[in-house]
Amino acid sequence: MRLRSLASTVSSFALLLTGLAYSTPAAAQAKGFALDRFDPSERGSEWFVLDTLDMRGKVRPAFGVVGDWGYKPLAVYDKANDDKEIGSIVENQFFVHVGGSLALAERIRLGVNLPIAAYQNGDRITSNGRTFTPPESALGDLRLSADLRLFGRYGGPITAALGASVYLPTGDQENYTSDGKIRVQPHVNVAGDIGLFAYAVKAGFNYRPLDDEFVQGKRLGSELFGAVSAGLRLANKKLLIGPELYGSTVVTDEKSFFKKRTTPAEVMLGLHYTAGDFRFGAGVGTGVFAGSRGWGSPQVRGLLNIEWMPAYTEDSDGDGVPDSEDACPTQPGVKTNDPKTNGCPPVVAPADRDGDGIVDSEDACPDVPGVKTNDPKTNGCPADKDGDGVYDRDDACIDVPGVKTNDPKTNGCPPDKDGDGVYDKDDACVDVPGVKTSDPKTNGCPPDRDKDGIVDNLDACPDQPGPSDPDPKKNGCPAARIEAGQIKIIQQVKFKTNSATIVESDAILNAVLAILKEHAEIKKIRVEGHSDNTGKAAYNKTLSQKRAASVAKWLTDHGIDKKRVIAKGWGQEKPIDTNNTEEGRANNRRVEFHIEETPEAPAKAEKAPKAPKKKK
């Protein structure tokens, strides 16, 4: 469809109305607008315009389509004889309203509706040298809505809800499906059923930021609107039939308030039939005023709709049995196969005060839950297999005599002072939590896997024996060890400042040397040099390479085959700590020994680790 410019639309519409009605300078500002006055109710309602306020369900959707045909919603009359129709800008207008809603938590409902003008036609009218062509198919304004149920419940005598709708300008002014601006509509809904009689009322304010003057000085603008319906529920309340009356009037201009053109009103007779999860509807209506003179209110309107909304299953007492099957709908009960007892409370059983399943008349201990026995003297009394005075039902150690405690996990068990699961009589370390072993000398004592005299929870290297150290990170660790693909050392290799000369590091290097001599399966090791970020990166990388080479030479000078050792300087590229503190920089200035090749693990490509996060 070829779009005309907005200026052309304004001037053309103004010339039409000034030539056919009263001449007024304000008509030059006329534009197209949202013409159709039928605004369908949210999906799930049993009225076309009004709302039955069915918000039942924790999460309950509804979807539907409404077909809306209007005949002569925008007619043009002779300016000399206001009752003489000379043509229709819009003669036939057929909309398809596609929408859905979602009821949440029995109280809130969200809705959406998109009108689509599937077909429009009208008269080709010429006035004051201007020709106006009929409108074409176009989208309408998308409606987004939300409603909150204030009180009442669907099907009751009165239910009230407060809500609002927002109309986004997705339509086309030139084709009379949009104002070209956002519209906002706060509203209140009331609905109810009294026996077979059903009613609904709706009122609100339609904020419509238009200031366009049309015939006889009347302007479009914000409106007050209202609607009312009444009907009968028939066919076991599956059919609702009755009239709906709705209309509005412009309130932003006194010349338009309750005037014929700016006060469109319609009445229709409709019916809706619900069949399971589906609802079907049909209706026919007309404008209230003679000749349907209100803009957008047609002489004849026809409606058809179909929608889907899952049927709501009522369960008044919340026992999981729907009211339609519940023989006791107001009393929580249990589900049975007998329609006479389904959903009813179970039959009261003989008295059993302690609830142990043994009726009081046969219970030797009617106030203390027990177990069934064949001995009338003990039937219904608690068992105490180990005879420690703690009943078996409370005894954590049924077969072992113990003592009573307040802890269900130890009640009736022998004492365990340190709570490690090893009873004191068997615990070699009564005051220190440990682990169970088969050795009486270590049973119940803390584990020490490497037997270095430092228990595992304090041993930084629990699988490799080492000396004690005040530093928790070094305690129990050997000077050098194989771990995670490296030979890790507990203290750094030291160098002279800005030099590759090794100082005070023979002890730690000898520890590395011993591992390499002991583990001939290590075919190649990569000595890496690293620096902090002090100074220039290129200088740091060169110095780290020299230091790595110096360490590699120390190893080869002490008997390690040169083929097993390579050197690599990374400079400041692989920090392991922040460079914002002296301690962090000291940690970054380091030498590492990476196992590059073993018979099981061939050499891998080097990959720089991610830089650590900076400490605040």
Better pLDDT: 18 or 526: 526
Under the banding of pLDDT at 50, 70 and 90, the label for residue 2 is very low
Residue pLDDT, tens place only, 259-274: 777 889 999 999 999 9
Higher pLDDT, 131 or 373: 373
Over pLDDT 70: what percentage of the chain? 87
Distance from C-alpha of 308 to C-alpha of 235, rounded to nearest angstrom: 19
Quick one: 479-597 is in which CATH superfamily? OmpA-like domain (3.30.1330.60)
- Sorted by sequence, the CB contacts under 8 Å of residue 448 that are 6+ apart come out as 454, 455, 456, 459, 462
Q: For residue 156, name the pLDDT band (cuts at 50, 70, 90).
A: very high
Q: Which two tokens stand for residue 82?
A: 């206001």
The mean of the pLDDT values for the chain is 84
* SS3 state of residue 554: helix
The confidence score (pLDDT) of residue 599 equals 61
Residue 21, pLDDT > 60, answer no
Place of tokens 């109280």: 107
> 140: how many CB neighbours lie within 10 A of its CB?
25
Per-residue pLDDT, 303: 97
Instruction: Report, as an integer, the average pLDDT of 196-221.
Output: 82
pLDDT digits (tens, 9 = 90+) for 228-257: 999 999 999 999 999 999 999 988 877 778
- Identify any residues that bridge with 206 across adjacent strands, giving them in sequence order: 223
Q: What is the pLDDT of residue 416?
A: 80
Q: What is the pLDDT of residue 185?
A: 97
For 207-211, 499-503, 537-541, which range has the lowest pLDDT when averaged over its residues? 207-211
Higher-scoring residue by pLDDT: 499, 32: 499
Check if the beta carbon of residue 262 is closer than 8 Å to that of residue 219. Answer: yes
Rounded to 10 degrees, the C-alpha dihedral 34/36/42/47 comes to 160
Determine which of 52-66, 193-207, 286-300 has the lowest per-residue pLDDT on average: 286-300
Which pLDDT band, with edges at 50, 70 and 90, does 30 fall under? very low
Q: Please state the domain extents for the chain.
A: 6-308, 479-597
pLDDT of residue 24: 34
Which residues fall within 8 angstroms of residue 426, CB to CB, at 6 or more apart? 440, 443, 444
Q: What is the pLDDT of residues 5-17, one digit of tens each?
A: 333 333 333 333 3
pLDDT in tens, 404-416: 888 888 888 888 8
Domain made up of 6-308: CATH architecture: Beta Barrel (2.40)
pLDDT tens column, 71-112: 999 877 766 666 677 778 899 999 999 999 999 999 999 999
**The predicted structure's pLDDT at residue 12:** 37
Residue of higher predicted confidence among 430 and 413: 413
The CA distance from 110 to 166, in Å, is 12
The per-residue DSSP string of 264-312 comes to -EEEEEEEEEEETTEEEEEEEEEESSGGG-STT--SEEEEEEEEE-PPP
- Kindly state the tokens that stand for 259: 């005037």
Banded model confidence at residue 126, pLDDT cuts 50, 70, 90: low
Give the whole-angstrom CA distance, residue 142 versus residue 301: 22
